[in-house]
Each structure stands twice: as C-alpha cells, then as structure tokens.
Structure 1
Amino acid sequence: MPDLTDAPVGRRGPVAELRAFFRASLLSPVGSPLPEPCGQRLRRRVVVALTVLVGALALGGALAIRPGDPLFYGAAAGVAGLWGAGALASGPLRLGRGRTRSGAASRGVLQGLILGAMLLTLFLAGAFVIARIPVLRAPVDEILDHARLGSVWVVAVITVVNGIAEELFFRGAVYAAFGPRWDLVGSTALYTASTLFSGVPLLTFAAACLGLLTAAQRRVTGGVAGPIAAHLTWSLGMLFLLGPVLTLGG
C-alpha cells in the first residue's frame, strides 16, 4: 500500500498532511550529526555540568523573589546570562537546516512556530482543569504574579531573552555534549532537572514537554533555530494567555 505522505502536496488529505508535517519537523533528520573531537566533547561536558548546577540554583532563587519586587528582573536576566554564557563557552553552535513536508530546504523556523503553537494549545486546554484544582493553580498564579504585579512588557522581554538563551544552552551545548546515543533524552532530562529548585511541579512538567519537543527538532535540523522559534511561541503565548484562561476556567 503506498504511503500517502509521499504524495504531492495538495493531493493529500488532512491526516496525511499532518503526518507529513510531523515526519518532516520531528522524525526525519536532514543530515547526519557532525562528529566532534574528544577534546571538544570533554570541554562541553565540563561547561555544561557547571552551568546546569549554577543555573538551576539561580532560577530557583529568581522565582523565589516576591512578585512585584524589581530585583526579579535583574535575577531573571542573570539566569538568562548564565545559560547564554554557558552555551558560548561550550564551543560552536549551529542554526541547523530543516526540510519542509514538500522536500524544500528551510531553517525549521516556521515548523517551530507551528509546533510551539500546538503545544501552547494543549497547555491552555489543560489550564481549564488546573484552574479548578487549588493545589496546582496556586504555584502557577505565583509565577504569573511577576507579570501581573510588575511590568508585563519587561517580563516579556526577559522571556524572549531567556528563551533564546535556554535553547542555545540546552539544545545547543547540552545536546551536543551527550553525543548521538543520549542527546535527545539527556538534554531533555537536564532541562527538566534545571527547574526542580523552582518548587513548582507544573513548571517541571512543562519543561519536560517543551524540552522533548525542541530536542526532537534539534535532532532533525541539527541546530537551534527551529527550537528557538518553538520555545518563544510557547513561552510568550503562556505569558499572555495563561492568566485569562485560568480566570475563565475558575
């Protein structure tokens, strides 16, 4: 039986189009990973280990600051600086190259935007349930209070900078440090672990979901451009839409 995802674009049904999109954006690597010298891999691992430890503690400290306190802005920017510095210190980073479902070359940015929007939709749907469970909603409201009680636009800028820095580090440096066998699982696990000191279980769950999605993009494209697009779409959408959805759900 022929694979309908190989049919020309425009002749596929909606299900086949969706399958072709996921295969192109998450499942079929564009090329083989470029090997790195042992010395470069060791350097990445040392830098990654130190940066994850310090960054996780710094993230927990930033989220512990009282909402509305201007110190939060500097602390959050400092966390982004740690991720970015760790990424650059680890060695070369790549933007990557993707392939559309029709076979055309791309950077994977549009695919990242679509995937980020899909993940955002799932999380907003789940927010309607969380809104009715006080023990789950309270920690989320505390995080959102940094935007509600402060400047939402400053928080938005920090969200963008931090999102880019996290992708450069976790899908750039960390992913490359693990090597081909454990790169996807290892980078996702460390990204998830970096949120443990936040004390917010749902933030850790979100990191696991977002980390797995962007790591799959990294495996397909070999770079960070697509993951950055997905991360920013999801994180900015959560910043501006999660609060209203929780209000509606409650």
Structure 2
Amino acid sequence: MSTTTRSARRQQMITAVFAVIGAVLLGSLLRFEPGGTNFYLVTLALALVWTIGAFAAGPVHLGRQGWATLRLAGPARHPDETRPDAGPRDRFIGPRPLLWPLAIGLGLAGVFVVGGLIVREIPFLYDAVTAVLAFADAGTGPLLLFITVVNGLAEELFFRGALYDAVRGRKVLITTVVYAFATLLTGNVMLAFAAIVIGLVCGQQRRVTGGILAPMITHVTWSASMLYALPLLFPM
C-alpha cells in the first residue's frame, strides 16, 4: 500500500469517527431545556468536536477567489493552490475570498426571510421553526451570538474542510447529504432543510475556491442574520 493511499485511508477513518461523534451530539441538542447550561455546554462541545476532527484529518486550506489551468505541470507553490477536484495542472489563484461570500450569506438570509413568510402559514413547519427559536428566546444575546458564530465556523471546518477532502468524487453532493443527515438527527425538518441549502451553496464555494474561508463567511453571515430576523417573523 502506497504512502498516499495510507494517508487517504487514515483521513477517511478520522473523519468518519468524528462525524459519528458530532452527529450524536448534534442529535441531542434540541432535547435539552432551552437556555439551560447543558444546551450551551453540548453546543460548545460539538463545535470542539468538529474543529478537532477537521485538523486531525489533515491540513485546512483557506482558498482563493479563482483558479486557472496552468500550461506547465508541477507542484503547487502553496498547498491551497491545488484544485482537489480537478487535474494536477489546475491552481487556485487570486486574493482570499471576502466580500462576495458575505454578499451570498446576506442574499441567502433574504431568501430565507421570504420563505419564512410562507412557512409561518403552514402549521407543522411553523411549529418546527418555533421549536428552534425557543432556544434563542430563552438564551442571552451575546452568548447566543457567540455559539452561533463558533458553531458555524466549526461546521464549515469539518464538513467543507475535512469531510470534503476525505470524499472521493461527488464531493458537494456527498458532504451535503452527510451534513443534512446529521442535522436531521435533531428531529427538526426545517433545520435539515436549511442544512441542505447551506451545504449545497457552501460546497460549491469550497469547490471553486479550494478552501473553507468563503464557506465560513457565508455560513456565519447567514446564521447571524437568521438569529435576529426569524424572531421578528415568528414571535414567541
């Protein structure tokens, strides 16, 4: 067995182990009392699991705004300039992605707000949203914002970082399915739906930038926006 093969299998094994641990913790989140200490502790533990799993599985790359196919083959000067889902002559180039992922996050938030106007007219979907918002309503503002940001960053580190690198083929689809399934373990269909949308959008960003910076910015922007926008649409 070659060194490359052993390294890939090690990466896949580590990712799988942390995916299971994280999924179990994620599935238990909504079973705690809203605003209770246990909820915050498990939420922070979950972020720690995703983060440790991401770095244990291998290097994490930030990515760049674009990519170009080079005419001359050769090793990339920087690890994050190699396009993992394309040929060996493809390199990621340009500055770090900052503004456009922010714009995408705000755009997604706008789409979800419009969707919320429809969802609140459907009783069982309304109940699914308010079940999540109960935790926001019972929590303290700064702490809730902190765990929202931290978990958004940690999820992208793991799902669009370690898991994306560990998957061989159909990376965006597979990472989105795994992310949605782990979220569905909470028992909340609206969280699972949001995971599908975020997974597809952030997965595409990882694909075109080669790193997790753009997905992180989009995810955190969307999450923070929803934290403040949804309670206005779904008053408790």
Aligned residue among 212, 222, 231 for 1:234: 222
- Cα deviation 1:66-119 (Å, max 9, x = unaligned): 11212111111011111111101101110011139xxx9221221111111111
2:161 alignment partner AA: G
TM-score with structure 1 setting the length: 0.80
**What pairs with 1:115-194 in structure 2 (closer than 5 Å)?**
115-179=104-168, 181-194=169-182
Residue of structure 1 in register with 2:78 after alignment: none
1:217 alignment partner AA: Q
Residue of structure 2 in register with 1:207 after alignment: 195
- Cα deviation 1:38-87 (Å, max 9, x = unaligned): 22221221111111111111011122111121211111101111111110
Would you say the 8 A contact 1:110–1:226 is kept in 2? no
Residue of structure 2 in register with 1:17 after alignment: none
Residue of structure 2 in register with 1:50 after alignment: 17
**3-state DSSP of counterpart to 2:234:** helix
2:119 alignment partner AA: I
Percent identical residues: 37
Would you say the 8 A contact 1:40–1:91 is kept in 2? no
Residue of structure 1 in register with 2:35 after alignment: 68
TM-score with structure 2 setting the length: 0.84
1:138 alignment partner AA: D
Would you say the 8 A contact 1:51–1:82 is kept in 2? yes
- For 1:241 and 1:125, the matched residues in 2 are separated by 11
Residue of structure 2 in register with 1:40 after alignment: 7
Aligned residue among 77, 81, 91 for 2:48: 81
**3-state DSSP of counterpart to 1:89:** helix
RMSD across aligned C-alpha pairs, in angstroms?
A: 1.7
Aligned residue among 91, 96, 101 for 1:107: 96
- Cα deviation 1:137-189 (Å, max 9, x = unaligned): 1121121111211212211100111111111100000000013x221111111
Would you say the 8 A contact 1:130–1:246 is kept in 2? no
- Structure 1: which 4+ aligned runs deviate by more than 4 Å? none
**3-state DSSP of counterpart to 2:32:** coil
- For 1:41 and 1:184, the matched residues in 2 are separated by 18
2:149 alignment partner AA: V
Would you say the 8 A contact 1:56–1:196 is kept in 2? no
- For 2:33 and 2:26, the matched residues in 1 are separated by 14
Structure 2: 5+ residue runs without aligned partners?
68-92
Residue of structure 1 in register with 2:88 after alignment: none
Aligned length: 209
1:124 alignment partner AA: V
- Cα deviation 1:181-211 (Å, max 9, x = unaligned): 2211111111111112100001101000000
Would you say the 8 A contact 1:217–1:226 is kept in 2? yes
